[in-house]
Amino acid sequence: METILVTGGSGFIGTNFIKFVMENHPRWAVVNLDALTYAGNPENHRELERDDRYTFVQGNIADAGLLEKLFAAHRFSGVFHFAAETHVDRSITGPEVFLNTNIIGTFKLLEASLAHVRSVPDAPFRFLHVSTDEVYGSLGFKDPAFTETTPYDPSSPYSASKASSDHFVKAFHRTYGLDVVVTNCSNNYGPYQFPEKLIPLVILNILDNKPLPVYGKGENIRDWLYVKDHCDALVRVFLKGTSGGTYNIGGGEEKNNLAVVRAICDLVDKRTGRKSSSRELISYVQDRPGHDLRYAIDCAKAERSVGFKAQYSFEQALAATIDWYLDHMDWVRSVQTGAYRKWIETQYTTRGVK
């Protein structure tokens, strides 16, 4: 049995990743370190409370003393680093927390990992850093997709903080020889995503008969990656990736925001028997500052090197995602706190309808 540390394992992607590991990799035990900020939910793993392979620790990745104790107690064979502030809009209104978590937190985790490796030099260890395609900046409609050699050109405080953390991870490999791999993924969607993000926000606003906010004209394009495909890719990179390497992970499903919103409307209407089309709720709101036009991922390296290829079509996975939210409204309402409602009002309602 090997033990891995999963940071941010009670957030959206971390939650799905832990469930994927527990189901598919029985020789791995998991320590979930999560600070339980607004987007972290300990209820996500309630079924694992009595599983000897799962341990939850509430704490911050910037707490060097806590990290030292965890590494000493569990002698991790690997780290899957998900913990991060991730919402672009929040980074615009309050960027400092993104520096503290995404840069300082990653640095502290790297220091703890390096100290661990030096204390047990013959033990296997790998650090997998989960990043984003947003570090590459924006593409035009006809530009080729991002590759692993695309220069970094971040547009928001969020993507700038992730770009910095990427560089620190790679620097620890080049300077100290720490075994690291970096993954840059496209837009994830699926179960357990906090409803500030586009897909769950639209699903829930339809159910509540609220406006469906679309930035600008809805022309911004994203490559959509189902979270279960992402989890599969991460394990493959961890097991087969080249030390110091970077791997782009995408779903191969480029869609503009308006098309995504319309697809959600049609599927929710069909599943709920809504009499009037929820497309009538679409509202065009003032665009956000520095809104990247298009992201697109070239996954050729990951496909060639580690055997990754997305298994879910956008239509198939979107339907499964909608079904999950419709079947888990108790979870939804538990995370829709007063603070969440105030945030949504600030971000969208006060922007006005064009």
pLDDT at 108: 98
What sign does the dihedral 270-276-279-281 (CA atoms) show? Answer: negative
CA distance 185 to 249: 5
Helices (H), the chain: 12-24, 64-74, 88-93, 96-98, 106-119, 157-176, 198-207, 227-240, 257-272, 300-306, 314-327, 329-335, 338-347
Burial of 14 (0-12, 13-18, 19+ CB in 10 A): buried
Active-site annotation holder among 158, 226, 284, 295: 158
Active-site annotation holder among 34, 54, 85, 133: 133
Active-site annotation holder among 134, 229, 253, 254: 134
- What is the per-residue pLDDT across 149-184, written as a single tens digit (0 to 9) for each? 999 999 999 999 999 999 999 999 999 999 999 999
- 133 annotated active-site: yes
Higher local confidence (pLDDT), 342 or 4: 4
User: Which residue do the tokens 């990745």 mark?
Assistant: 61
**Could you tell me the CA-to-CA distances from 39 to 84, 155, 346 in Å, in that order?**
10, 23, 18
Is the separation of the CB atoms in 203 and 281 below 8 Å? no
- What is the per-residue pLDDT across 10-34, written as a single tens digit (0 to 9) for each? 999 999 999 999 999 999 999 999 9
Overall pTM > 0.85: yes
pLDDT at 269: 98
Which three-class secondary structure state does DSSP give residue 340? helix
- What is the per-residue pLDDT across 49-105, written as a single tens digit (0 to 9) for each? 899 999 999 999 999 999 999 999 999 999 999 999 876 878 888 889 899 999 999
pLDDT at 288: 78
Class of domain 2-193+226-255+294-312: alpha beta
CA distance 224 to 202: 16
Of residues 17, 84, 10, the one with CA closest to residue 40? 10
pLDDT at 113: 98
Half-sphere exposure of 219 (CA within 13 A, CB side): 7
CA distance 309 to 305: 11
